[in-house]
Amino acid sequence: MQTKHFSLPIRVYYQDTDAGGVVYHSTHLNFMERARYEWLRHLGFNVHGLIGIHNLQFMVRSLEIEYFKPALLDDLLHITVNVTDMGRSRITLEQEILRDETPLVKAMVHVVCVGTESLKPIRIPINLREKIETPT
CB 47 within 8 A of CB 34: no
The distance of Cα 124 from the centroid of its chain, to the nearest Å, equals 17
Q: What is the amino acid identity at position 73?
A: L
Angle at 45 between CA 42 and CA 49, to 5 degrees: 150
18 is catalytic: yes
Runs of H (alpha helix) within the chain: 25-42, 47-52, 126-133
Distance separating alpha carbons of residues 87 and 133, to the nearest angstrom = 12
Residues 16, 18, 75, 100: which is the catalytic one?
18
Residue 85 bridge partners (DSSP):
92
Which residues are designated catalytic?
18
